[in-house]
Amino acid sequence: MLKKILALVAMLYAAASFAAVDVNKATAAELDGIKGIGPGLSGKIIEERKHGAFKDWNDFIQRVRGVGEANAGKFSAEGMTVNGRGFKASAAAPTRASASAPKQ
């Protein structure tokens, strides 16, 4: 019986540690728990959030200095969401090589 209780507690702890952290609701400590976010960046996020909730990932990227699409993808993979949604990279723009290649 004790083994079952300990196993249940361990599973609940593991599930809680992978729970999503919404940037509009998270505390500084919860943001710091995301790999790649330290006290400096979490402070910037919370300060910018005072001006209004982040609407989506693009809004988040535009308003928080030092966060680009690459970081947004990493933060999303670590469990961070904006309004409950994970990050999806925008369609890549065509490269110069493919844009200047002759059409056949």
Residue 28's CATH number: 1.10.150.320
Give me the pLDDT at residue 8, please. Answer: 55
Q: What is the pTM of this model?
A: 0.68
Residue 92 lies in a domain: no
Q: pLDDT by residue (tens digit) across 9-64?
A: 555 544 444 568 999 999 999 999 999 999 999 999 999 999 999 999 999 999 99
Q: Is the pLDDT of residue 85 over 90?
A: yes
Higher pLDDT, 102 or 63: 63
Is the pLDDT at 103 greater than 60, yes or no?
no
For residue 48, what are the domain limits?
20-86
For residue 13, tell me if it sits in a domain.
Answer: no
Split into its structural domains, the chain has a count of: 1
Cβ 78 vs Cβ 17: under 8 Å: no
